[in-house]
């Protein structure tokens, strides 16, 4: 069989500390794959600089000058992991038969890429890398992630458990992905929707090799919340149901308190009054907030802004693609 062209896409944001090692290791792996005749000699590594403020681009550019296997895509500013990844995938798609996405920090076991490719040759269009355990994560991160998966599952979103964005996609799969034009693209939820034949490879996730996480708690929570509200309106429905329940409850208590007032000897308490004010007020605020969240999403989508803009410095690419999706 003809060897297929593979591109490894690596989104990088302020990764100067780890990048030199990443470049060497990925290059080594690619050499092995080429020597084993698993992938074509035209295979490449595409580094996407997501508007880094440190020497990340400098490192990528210098490597590109002396390494024919390296391509560099520079985005005009920081657009976030998901969009940087998309920029890389859509650019790589034109140049390759299959694309592997991997983080720059060497947390994912790069040796697994070989298994990805083998499964691709078996006829899978998408191969998901799934972490065996989460030992390297803190208890907090583990439990919040678990909660997130549970919520998503309850809402009927088809997520692959413990899979981050370490996966192989065929050219055909990426082409279909491009047709999902929403601005708030939550890749882990969208990719399974493509629906092609897929498989899973298990691996051990390691500690970040160097540098710091670009996903502090605040960003992580925002990411999870975006994921949830991008996929379902059931949170709003849930609030509606709570609202209805508390409405009927307050009717019931209203009648109860009135009965007490006329036939009993109690003074209607201040406590119950103030409690119900707070309760209903709170519910209303929650509901308004949630609605606002969705309205905000509609607002964002309606603008149809480009997800990223490619900088002129990019090199080793056929033509920069300016996305106006």
Does 11 bind ligand UDP (CB under 6 A)? Our answer is yes
By beta-carbon proximity to ligand UDP, the closer residue of 21 and 287 is: 21
Selected range binding ligand UDP among 6-14, 249-257, 272-280, 295-303, rule: CB under 6 A? 6-14
CA distance 78 to 234: 31
Residue 269-308 contact track with ligand UDP, rule CB under 6 A, x = bound: ----------------------------------------
CA distance 236 to 273: 27
Q: Which residues contact 86 (CB under 8 A, 6 or more apart)?
A: 177, 185, 187, 307, 308
Choice from 35, 53, 143, 213 touching ligand UDP (CB under 6 A): 213
- Give per-residue burial for 9-24: e unless 16+ CB within 10 Å, then b: bbbbbbbbbbbeebbe
Does 215 bind ligand UDP (CB under 6 A)? Our answer is yes
Length of the chain: 325
End-to-end C-alpha distance for the chain, whole angstroms: 36
Instruction: Supply angle C-alpha 280, 231, 233, rounded to 5.
Output: 30
Does 107 bind Mg ion (CB under 5 A)? Our answer is yes
Residues 40-59 contacting ligand UDP, CB under 6 A:
50
By beta-carbon proximity to Mg ion, the closer residue of 61 and 166 is: 166
Does 103 bind ligand UDP (CB under 6 A)? Our answer is yes
Does 104 bind ligand UDP (CB under 6 A)? Our answer is yes
Does 124 bind ligand UDP (CB under 6 A)? Our answer is no
Joined together, the tokens standing for residue 88 give: 């890389």
Instruction: Give the C-alpha distances (Å, rounded to integers) separating 94 from 39, 51, 88, 320.
Output: 16, 23, 11, 11
Site residues (CB under 6 A) for ligand UDP?
11-13, 15, 50, 78, 80-81, 84, 103-105, 107, 213-215
Site residues (CB under 5 A) for Mg ion?
103, 105, 107
């Amino acid at each position: 069989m003809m060897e297929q062209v593979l591109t490894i896409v690596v989104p990088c944001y302020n990764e100067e500390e780890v990048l030199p090692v990443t470049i060497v290791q990925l290059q080594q792996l690619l050499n092995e794959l080429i020597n084993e005749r698993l992938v074509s000699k035209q295979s490449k590594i595409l580094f996407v600089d997501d508007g880094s403020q440190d020497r990340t681009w400098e490192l990528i550019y210098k490597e590109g000058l002396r390494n024919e296997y390296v391509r560099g895509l520079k985005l005009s500013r920081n657009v976030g992991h998901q969009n940087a990844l998309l920029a890389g995938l859509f650019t790589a798609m034109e140049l390759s038969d299959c694309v592997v996405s991997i983080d720059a920090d060497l947390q994912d076991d790069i040796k697994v890429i070989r298994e990805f490719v083998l499964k691709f040759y078996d006829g899978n269009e998408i191969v998901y890398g799934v972490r065996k355990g989460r030992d390297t994560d803190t208890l907090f991160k583990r439990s919040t992630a678990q909660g997130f998966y549970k919520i998503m599952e309850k809402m009927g979103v088809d997520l692959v458990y413990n899979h981050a964005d370490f996966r192989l996609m065929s050219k055909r799969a990426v082409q279909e992905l491009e047709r999902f034009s929403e601005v708030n693209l939550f890749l882990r939820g969208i990719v399974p929707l493509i629906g092609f034949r897929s498989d899973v490879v298990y691996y051990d996730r390691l500690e970040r090799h160097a540098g710091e996480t670009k996903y502090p708690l605040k960003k992580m929570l925002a990411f999870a919340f975006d994921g949830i509200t991008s996929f379902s309106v059931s949170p709003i429905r849930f609030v509606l149901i709570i609202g209805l329940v508390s409405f009927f409850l307050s009717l019931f208590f209203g009648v109860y308190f009135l009965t007490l007032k006329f036939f009993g000897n109690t003074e209607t308490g201040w406590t119950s009054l103030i409690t119900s004010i707070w309760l209903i007020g709170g519910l209303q605020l929650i509901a308004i907030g949630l609605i606002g969240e969705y309205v905000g999403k509609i607002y964002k989508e309606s603008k149809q802004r480009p997800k990223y803009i490619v900088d002129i410095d990019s090199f080793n690419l056929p033509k920069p693609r300016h996305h106006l999706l």
